[in-house]
Each structure stands twice: as C-alpha cells, then as structure tokens.
Structure 1
C-alpha cells in the first residue's frame, strides 16, 4: 500500500499531518510520500491543486482519498493492518 500526503508550504495542518504520518510510519513501518500541490501546479501539473487544494492536507491511500484536514489515525491503522 502506498500513502501520499498532499500538502502545501506554510500549512500548519499539513505540518501536523506530516508529524502524525511520521509517527505512524515509525510504529507500523509504512512510509509515505509527500506532494506539495502548489509546486506540482507550478511544474505544469495543476490537477492535484484543482482537486484537493481547498481541503489540505489530504491523505491518499493507494491513490484514493483516505482523509482530509487531519489524519484519521484509527482508520488508517485499520486499513494498513494485514
């Protein structure tokens, strides 16, 4: 399974979500990637910012929106369980 955190620079909720995912990563061994939607848009790919930019941070699990505005720890742990 692959976790992606969609975020933007200067977003305090994004920083909290990053810390939550780092804690979960350390506990369950599941890493995550982070994508700055504004940087991606500036590089010519605005789709993520258009789709998710008004509700950041967003956690994607296997390419599907899992949670937004905050990490749903309990649900994410359950979805990552074998």
Structure 2
C-alpha cells in the first residue's frame, strides 16, 4: 500500500503514512482509516464494509498496512483490522456497518 500526505490528517496517523484510495488527488480529508495487512481475511471483510459505507455517505477513506510502519505494527498488530474514525480508534477485528454509519453521522453533528 502506498502512503501519501494529503495535508491535514488525524493525529493518530503519521503524516508519511497517509493515502486515500478513493481520492488520489487529495481533494478531501479521509474520515475513515483502515489499519490492516495484506492476506488478512478480516481486513478483506472490513474493507468491503468501509467501501460500501464511504460510497453511500460520500466519505473519504484510506488504508494503512502494519507491514509498512513499525509504529502501527507495535500499536495495532494484535487487533487488525482496526478502524479509525476522524483519527480515533473506532473498532477492531470486525467492522459493524451500523456502528460505523452512526459514528460518521455523530462526527458531522459535532
């Protein structure tokens, strides 16, 4: 997975590890971050939920691999996939679609 800096970012994600597959030109700040690794079947499941929700709500997302970043590996290796919403840990192991939608809606109301 490629990492690109797209400007402002959540504080939990290092600037040099940011990429947004839905917005390669960096026009919007991704609200969802999926932390995982290649070959992780739970990450595949989480990715599908995140893709669906981000498309439905027109919200950007990015994916980071623990294999590319020792800090992420140290922090999240036993929990992947980990979902961050607005830079804060939201879920791990599984992504519940209704909870993710609610968290994104809550963030808009703040």
Q: TM-score, normalised by structure 1?
A: 0.86
The answer as to 2:52 corresponding to 1:14 is no
- Structure 1 residues 10-57: Cα deviation after superposition (integer angstroms, max 9, x where no partner): 0010011111100111111112100001122xxxxx111111001100
Number of positions where the alignment pairs a residue of Structure 1 with one of Structure 2: 77
Aligned to 1:59: 83
Aligned to 1:43: none
More strand by share: 1
Q: Please tell me the root mean square deviation across aligned C-alpha atoms, in Å.
A: 1.3
Q: Distance in 1 between matches of 2:79 and 2:36?
A: 9
The answer as to 2:54 corresponding to 1:25 is yes
Q: Secondary structure at the match of 2:80?
A: coil
The match for 2:66 among 32, 37, 40 is 37
Q: Secondary structure at the match of 1:60?
A: strand
Q: Kindly report structure 1 stretches of 4+ aligned residues shifted beyond 4 Å.
A: none
Counterpart contact for 2:85–2:104, Cα < 8 Å: no
Q: Unaligned stretches of 5+ in structure 1? A: 41-45
Counterpart contact for 2:31–2:61, Cα < 8 Å: yes
